Amino acid sequence: MASSRFTVFPLVVLSIFSLSLVGDANKLKSSPFESALDTLQNQIGYAFKNIGYLRQAMTHSSFSEENNKAFSILGSNVIDTSVSMYYIGKDIGISSKELNRRIAENSKVDTSCAVDGMRLGLHKVVRVSSKTNSTTPSVVCGAFRAIFGAVAIDTKKVDDAGIVFWKVHGSEVGKVMVM
């Protein structure tokens, strides 16, 4: 009894010490890329269950075989679907011309998705090869769209990805949808 009481204190000290070592090791593991992913999740207001999806969304095809191309296609469809749902819901008789105009307005490379992507600072996050300029609109747009593809895969719901899109994209529609 008496001897075990004396061993408790050093044991506690030792375990606190080893816990802090583990903490330091984790800090060392966190690269600038990983902390940029944390910041990005805060910016878009969505925390990934599987951070690997966001990592892949922020990887250009020049960097790795496992890249954001497929996520980007899905993300582009999420955006188009979400825009279509909103405008047809608002005006059931909307013309195809007007709907296409709305879709283009909300997803055009130069005026919409590159602007949104730059505002999120994606050109500083997305991983590209050393020969690739990460500030070009196509790279920024690809990464931007891939975020919503990644959210859809993470939640298994296109709607959830659409909500994150409106939140990030802003606009009058966004305010209505997020409410």
Binding residues for ligand NAG, rule: CB under 6 A, are 133, 135-136
CA distance 142 to 126: 10
- Which residue's CB is nearer to ligand NAG, number 43 or number 135? 135
Q: How far is CA 140 from CA 72, 110, 111, 166, 177, in A?
A: 11, 10, 12, 18, 25
- Residue nearer to ligand NAG on the CB measure, 82 or 112: 112
Residue 113 C-beta: closest distance to ligand NAG, Å: 14
Q: What is the smallest separation between the CB atom of 33 and ligand NAG, expressed in angstroms?
A: 20
Cα pseudo-dihedral 91, 97, 98, 102, rounded to 10: 120
Q: Compute the least distance from the CB of residue 126 to ligand NAG, in Å.
A: 13
Best CA proximity match to 113, nearest among 149, 86, 89, 85: 149
| Closest chain position to ligand NAG (CB) | 133
Nearer to ligand NAG, 61 or 132 (CB): 132
